[in-house]
Chain A
Amino acid sequence: MPNRLQQYCLLSLTILLALGLPIDVFAHGVDDNTRAFLQQNTGMQIIPFLYIGAKHMITGYDHLLFLVGVLFFLYRSRDVLLYVSMFTLGHSLTLLFGVIGDIQVNAYLIDAIIGLSVVYKGFDNLGGFKQLLGKSPNAKLAVLIFGLFHGFGLATKLQEFQLPADGLIANLIAFNIGVELGQFTALAFILLIINFWRTHNSFIKFATSTNCLLMSAGFMLMGYQLTGYFIN
């Protein structure tokens, strides 16, 4: 089963690259046609929004850190799919709701909460909640809730593009599908690395320090974003 999942992830990656490469070239070619295309940013723009969504996910290190935390102790493909679906459900809901409802959330605060989600997952992986509270909080629910916050983060960033109402829903759905494509690409890399690492003894040996560093990275993200919030 893991092999099939890996194959699936690699397939998504290939499709994404095939989709992404020409667009990247297209967006940088500043000939008159492209310029006209970018200016008349109205109506349905499925492929560009797919691309923006995928790019946002792949270059969003905060999302990636959270995914590393979530996947760290997930061994079965079924669990991986389940957790990723919960995350997807969460951020799809708030992304659509946030943009359609024109809800402006402070990007720094959302990003600080995303940092907190990384801290939570690192601490949870260290068995922190089990040790302190006797049991771990419902992991699926936590992933769903943080998914909701990640979606608000996406919505806030998308609103910076000042989207016209024309074709908004289709563009949003394209963006969201792009986010999923990006997420699967990121997952492919994370799973390949983690699965490979698991076959070595060092996985168990360094599991504690890895999650400790993950938690530390979460604290850094929080500090970075909260500072941004207070000075702006």
Chain B
Amino acid sequence: MQPQTIALTKVTLFKYTLFSLIFATVTLFTIILPAEYNIDPTGIGQALGLTVFNKVAADTTSSVSSQKVTEKIKAAVEVIEIIVPAHSGVEYKFTMAQHQKLSYQWVTSGTALYFDLHGEPEGDTTGYFESYAIATLNTMEGSFTTPFSGVHGWYWKNTADTPVIVQLTVKGDYVKHGLK
């Protein structure tokens, strides 16, 4: 016996469809939306502890509104301009202790740049580094908490024929910063 489809009466079909819709709606509003978007109309997501992802996400993703980020880094912000020459790469690093936080926002003069946001442990001679974000973008905002003490920052690579200026706005617990 090889059924090609299921034959249900109209009433049963309606019941199954309604059930699938209700099940989907309940799951969406109690689990998926609280976890994914921090939309939690029932409060069940909060009760289940599913809204915790959003706190982490807000710290690391660039989807937070620029207003929010500006608010977050309003005190003691520093604006740095970095020129990335044509066909070359530049490293800009912040010296920070372990478990310190840096909020940042950067924008290029137009062109998207390949970048690698990473940290290098203090006193390391093996050339080891840990990447926090790698992409090709013309702007990004977010923050990171250092997993170890050392220098942490960006490597930007400009493959274009003209220099690109990166305007970097930071606020955080760093000791010093500069080109490396």
Contact = CB atoms under 8 A, between A and B. Distances in A.
Interface of A: 30, 32, 35, 38-42, 73, 75, 122-128, 130-132, 136, 161-162, 204, 207-208, 211-213, 215-220, 223-224, 227-228, 231-232
Contacts of A126: 5-6, 8, 13, 16-17
Interface string B18-40: 01110111011000110011010
B131 to A, nearest CB: 6
Nearest first, the 5 A-B pairs at minimum CB distance are: A219-B24, A216-B20, A215-B20, A223-B28, A127-B5
Given A127-B7, A127-B13, A131-B13, A122 B20 contact: yes
Contacts, number: 101
Contacts of A41: 114, 136
What DSSP secondary structure best describes chain A's contact surface? helix
18 contacts: A30-B129, A39-B114, A41-B114, A42-B159, A73-B4, A73-B5, A122-B20, A123-B17, A125-B6, A130-B5, A131-B7, A132-B10, A162-B112, A162-B136, A216-B21, A223-B33, A227-B39, A232-B63
B180 to A, nearest CB: 15
B169 to A, nearest CB: 23
B3 interface: yes
Nearest to A73: B4
B134 A219 contact: no
Q: State which size class the interface on B falls in.
A: 35 or more
A80 B21 CA distance: 29
B6 A220 contact: no
A231 B6 contact: no
Contacts of A131: 7-10, 13
B6 A127 contact: yes
B20 A224 contact: no
B39 A128 contact: no
Contacts of A125: 5-6
Given A75-B2, A131-B8, A220-B27, A215 B17 contact: yes
B39 A216 contact: no
A224 B32 contact: yes
